[in-house]
């Protein structure tokens, strides 16, 4: 399908009846937090009577996470295991491919993002205001991040706005809620943290305007297990520029 055809298909989306939310949880060596994040996810009361599917993708964990996960699967929680670590982007893509919900959301397992914010993301879609909703870490309550992390995030969002004619405050947010019909038009290739700019770039190139809502945020630092580094910032910048001019 040509880009013009894809854009027309998206712009002509009919109002939908949403019945299920799939939450994709990429996990790599999160033995100490995965049980707690799962408890928090199960406790959320979803608006609109949505059913919940939690899809945990273990990305080759070696710290005992896989053994913990083997005890958590039930009618709501599905576990997909990667044979070796391939990166967050690869895990997210596997999750998207296996999701069965009408709406799909990404949730990190490290407790930085609070599932209690899910209704904030879902409500604009249920009210017909959006097909894609991002949770912004810069417009809600938060534990302040290091200055260099703040600068990096703001710079990447500014670059996104310039290249794609938008006004996002937080392109790198994990909380990206996407109507499955939009997701089906995205051909994603990234294996690492560059999955975030790739998703954003390809959504915006479809002509879909992204709705933002404030969320809370409790960021980790490197001594607490944070995995993203300054190198990933350069990869994100390259990804934004690349997909501005290619598919």
**Where are the chain's structural domains?**
17-245
Helix ranges restricted to H, 140-229: 147-164, 180-183, 195-205
Q: What are phi and psi of 151, to 5 degrees?
A: -60, -45
Task: Say if residues 145 and 219 touch (Cβ distance below 8 Å).
Answer: yes
Domain 17-245 CATH class label: alpha beta
- Backbone φ/ψ region at 239: left (φ over 0), alpha (ψ -120 to 50), beta: alpha
pTM of the model: 0.89
Degrees to nearest 5, angle at CA 31 with 27 and 32: 120
Per-residue pLDDT of the chain (247 residues), as tens digits, is 555 555 555 655 777 899 999 999 999 999 999 999 999 999 999 999 999 999 999 999 999 999 999 999 898 999 999 999 999 999 999 999 999 999 999 999 999 999 999 999 999 999 999 999 999 998 866 666 666 677 888 999 999 999 999 999 999 999 999 999 999 999 999 999 999 999 999 999 999 999 999 999 987 554 444 556 657 788 999 999 999 999 8
Task: Let me know how many helices (H) and strands (E) the chain has, helices first.
Answer: 9, 9
The Cα–Cα gap between 207 and 230 comes to 30
Rounded alpha-carbon distances, angstroms, from residue 181 to 30, 84, 117, 197, 229: 31, 30, 23, 19, 32
Rounded alpha-carbon distances, angstroms, from residue 122 to 93, 95, 115: 21, 19, 12
């Amino acid at each position: 399908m040509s880009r013009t055809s894809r854009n027309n298909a998206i712009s002509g989306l009919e109002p939908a009846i949403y019945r299920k939310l799939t939450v994709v949880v990429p996990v790599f060596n999160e033995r100490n937090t995965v049980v707690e994040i799962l408890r928090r996810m199960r406790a959320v009361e979803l608006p609109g009577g949505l059913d919940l599917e939690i899809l945990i993708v273990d990305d080759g964990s070696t710290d005992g996470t896989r053994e913990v996960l083997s005890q958590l699967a039930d009618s709501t929680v599905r576990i997909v295991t990667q044979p070796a670590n391939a990166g967050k982007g690869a895990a997210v893509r596997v999750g998207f491919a296996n999701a069965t919900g009408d709406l799909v959301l990404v949730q990190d397992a490290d407790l930085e993002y609070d599932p209690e914010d899910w209704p904030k993301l879902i409500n604009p879609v249920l009210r017909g205001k959006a097909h894609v909703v991002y949770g912004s870490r810069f417009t809600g309550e938060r534990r302040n991040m290091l200055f260099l992390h703040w600068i990096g995030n703001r710079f990447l969002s500014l670059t996104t706005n310039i290249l794609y004619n938008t006004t996002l405050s937080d392109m790198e947010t994990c909380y990206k809620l996407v109507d499955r019909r939009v997701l089906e038009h995205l051909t994603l290739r990234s294996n690492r943290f560059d999955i975030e700019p790739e998703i954003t770039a390809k959504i915006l190139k479809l002509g879909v305007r992204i709705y933002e809502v404030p969320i809370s945020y409790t960021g980790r630092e490197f001594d607490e297990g944070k995995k993203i580094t300054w190198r990933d910032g350069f990869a994100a910048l390259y990804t934004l520029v690349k997909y501005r001019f290619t598919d």
